[in-house]
Amino acid sequence: MYSQKVMEHFKNPRNMGEISDADGVGTVGNPVCGDMMTIYIKVKENRIADIKFKTFGCGAAIATSSMVTELAKGKTLEEALKITRGDIADALEGLPPVKMHCSNLAADALHAAIEDYYKKKKR
Ligand code: FES
C-alpha cells in the first residue's frame, strides 16, 4: 500500500534531528491521530541553509517529514513557502488516501518554521 519511495524514506529518513541554534522552529500536531512534527531551519541569505525534523508519528509522517526537508533545503524562503501538501505526496509517488493528512502535517510544519523565522526577525 505504500510506494517504494515512502518505504525508503521511512527506513532511511533524511535530515532527522534537531538544530539547537535554529533560526525558525515550527511544531504542528494532528489531534485525531496524535502525531506531532517539529521542523528546524537555519537561514542564510534568505535561503534554507539547513533543515532538520523531529517526528513522533506514523511511518508516513516520518517519510513526509524526510521528504519535506529534501524539497526545502537550499530553496529561498519564498520558494519553500510554496511547497504544498500535494508536492510532498507527489514526490513520494503518492500516499494512501487515509495517509494524505500526514503530508499536510509536513507542509504545515515547514510553513510554521518559516513564519517563526519572520517573527523573530521582526523583533
Ligand atoms: Fe496522522 Fe500519520 S497517521 S500523521
In the chain, domain spans: 4-122
C-alpha of residue 121 to centroid of ligand 1, in Å: 32
| Predicted pLDDT of residue 123 | 82
Whether 33 lines ligand 1, by a CB cut-off of 6 Å, is yes
Full-model pTM: 0.96
Say what percent of the chain tops pLDDT 70: 100
- Segment 7-31 shows an average pLDDT of 98
Is a pLDDT exceeding 90 seen at residue 1? Answer: no
Nearest to residue 84, comparing CAs of 106, 65, 66?
106
Strands 36-44 and 24-29: antiparallel
- pLDDT per position as a tens digit, 74-84: 999 999 999 99
Ligand 1 atom nearest to 34, measured from its CA? 1
> Strands of 47-56's sheet, edge to edge?
24-29, 36-44, 47-56
Whether 60 lines ligand 1, by a CB cut-off of 6 Å, is yes
Is 58 a catalytic site residue? Answer: no
Active-site residue among 33, 36, 81, 91?
33
- Segment 27-42 shows an average pLDDT of 97
CATH class of 4-122: alpha beta
